[in-house]
Amino acid sequence: VMFLLETAGVPIEEVGKVLSLQPELVGCSLKKKLEVIAKFFFFHGIRREELGTMVSDFPMLLKYSLSTLKPKLKYIIMVMKLPLKEVIKFPR
């Protein structure tokens, strides 16, 4: 819960929704999984509050692996030429 609030930037009123949709997040490793995913998005210029919005809208996002996220983001930005704000707006 602290990770969702402090690192991922999920608003406090959305934490219950996120955990009810993805209860497995409680058992995920902070160091090996959740923090790695958060750092990936931060590296690509997504701010904490924006990540919180994305996770609130699509909690499954935190369960993806880097090997899944990297090519998806690369395709969206390099091939589709969509701005990062579109990824933030529609994380699915």
pLDDT tens-digit map of 13-35: 999 999 999 999 998 899 999 99
Q: Of how many residues is the chain composed?
A: 92
Residue 70, token pair as written in the block:
């990297």
- One-character DSSP codes across 38-49: HHHHHHTT--HH
**47-59 per-position pLDDT tens digit:** 999 999 999 999 9
Question: E strands, the chain, where?
Answer: none
pTM, entire model = 0.88
Helix 35-43 vs helix 48-57: crossing angle, to nearest 10:
120
State the Cα–Cα distance between residues 18 and 36, nearest whole angstrom. Answer: 18
pLDDT on residue 21:
94
The residue written with tokens 């790695």 in the block is 36
**70-82 per-position pLDDT tens digit:** 999 999 999 999 9
pLDDT on residue 22:
93
**Short-list 88, 28, 26, 84, CA closest to 55:** 88
